Amino acid sequence: MRADRLLRLTHILADGRRRTAAALAARLEVSERTILRDVEALQDVGVPITASPGPEGGISLPQGWGRLITGLSAGEVRALAALATSKTLGELGEPLDSALGKVLAALPTAQRQQAEQARQRLLVDPEPWWLGSAPEDATLDAVREALWSDRQLRLTYEDAQGHLTERDVSPLGLVLKGGRWHLLAETAAGRRVFRGDRMRGAALLEAKAARPEDFELREAWREATEGFVASRPRFDVTMRLSPAGRGALAAMRPASERDQIFNCEGPLTLDLQKEEIAWATVTQLGEHLDVLAPASLRARLTRMAERWRLGGEPGGVEAVPAAGDVPDQAQPGAVDQGQAGLGGGLLGGVLVGLPKGAP
């Protein structure tokens, strides 16, 4: 087909060397006249191909022209098309769409059709269903400008406890993970990660950012995430679940824990990270779960049950008991876990019959 021959012709000439019409004709197994017609056709559509007569003449393209569009496989074309559908690139989304549009427009017809097919069949939307507030556009713009210009940034940041701090940082890179922007930066206290949804302001400084010469963003982010996982708090909860409880818990927890939830024989021990997360989790599972440990969580459930028995409100925010402040009746074994099977244990016995929505 002529389109394939034109593509092969541009690929041959992409190294910038001049070739005679005779040499190209022999290479493509056509006549010299056909080669000259192909050159005219390419010139008509804007391809910068030149044809010079004489002993020193020949047919050529600027060196490197066309290598990008001729080197893409079908899978690479689909990947580029899918990338253009990402919804969380913010300011970068429009120029990315424009750049990819130019790349895709330069592809041969068959590959353009593959790209359009991918765009209609695959959407990349990494945003979770419920997402915290995104950083203000002006804040994110300042962060990006600091990165592009290698300048320091004065960052106003709110920590997990709601405390505001202001610090000068040297931005190293922006990472989009789980639908949230994260800034990796050097600070006076060492390298830190700042969540975009906790940035409350950013001002560009004139001082040059301190950027290590051997810095590699992908490796630095891997180290940061491994450090976060290793340092995160643990709160192990041992529980006994009904089949319905296992399904409900699996729906609430990360996909990586589902095999453990469904395949565990006997009581399940799961790291719920913090007592407040554990409290919110077990009170949603109601009669489908019995909490076996830790004692502090069992104590909170016991107190909730006692308030309900006395006609009080079991809801509301309850203080986490201090270490050792655990009533005797909340110690493991104080409640007969077999008194009525699942649902008759600590949490099950407390919550059976409670109004819908009660904790």
41-74 b/e (C-beta count within 10 Å ≥ 16 → b): ebeeeebebebeeeeeebbbbeeebbeebbebee
pLDDT at 320: 41
* Residue 166: strand pairing partners: 156
Measured CA distances, 67 to 36, 215, 277, 300, 301 (Å) = 22, 30, 53, 67, 67
10-19, 141-150, 155-164, 313-322: the lowest-pLDDT one: 313-322
**295-309 helix and 275-285 helix, angle to the nearest 10 degrees:** 50
Arithmetic mean of pLDDT, 56-65: 79
What is the rounded CA–CA span in Å between residue 37 and residue 40? 5
3-state secondary structure of 270: strand
3-state secondary structure of 171: strand
Contacts of residue 187, Cβ cutoff 8 Å, sequence gap at least 6: 167, 168, 169, 170
pLDDT at 152: 96
What is the rounded CA–CA span in Å between residue 297 and residue 288? 16
User: pLDDT tens digit string along 294-351?
Assistant: 999 988 888 887 887 776 554 444 444 433 333 333 333 333 333 333 334 444 444 4
What is the rounded CA–CA span in Å between residue 306 and residue 48? 84
Determine the Cα angle at 144 with ends 142 and 146, to 5°: 70
* Residue 255: strand pairing partners: none
Longest dimension (CA), the chain: 106
What is the rounded CA–CA span in Å between residue 341 and residue 304? 21
What is the rounded CA–CA span in Å between residue 186 and residue 165? 16
Arithmetic mean of pLDDT, 36-52: 87
Host H or E run for residue 155: strand 151-158
Higher pLDDT, 71 or 42: 42
Q: Tokens at residue 134, please?
A: 């995104």
Determine the Cα angle at 335 with ends 237 and 267, to 5°: 35
What is the rounded CA–CA span in Å between residue 93 and residue 78? 18
Higher pLDDT, 92 or 112: 112
pLDDT at 11: 79
User: pLDDT tens digit string along 187-246?
Assistant: 999 999 999 889 999 999 999 998 888 888 989 999 998 888 778 888 999 999 999 989
Q: Tokens at residue 195, please?
A: 């969540």
What domains can you pick out in the chain, each with its CATH number? 2-67 (1.10.10.10), 72-121 (no CATH), 137-231 (2.30.30.520), 236-351 (no CATH)
3-state secondary structure of 359: coil
Do 288 and 248 form a contact (C-beta atoms < 8 A)? yes
**Secondary structure of 212-227 in HEC code, one letter for each residue:** CCCCCHHHHHHHHHHH
* Residue 180: strand pairing partners: 177
Contacts of residue 87, Cβ cutoff 8 Å, sequence gap at least 6: 93, 124, 125, 126, 127
pTM above 0.75, yes or no: no
Mean pLDDT across the chain: 76
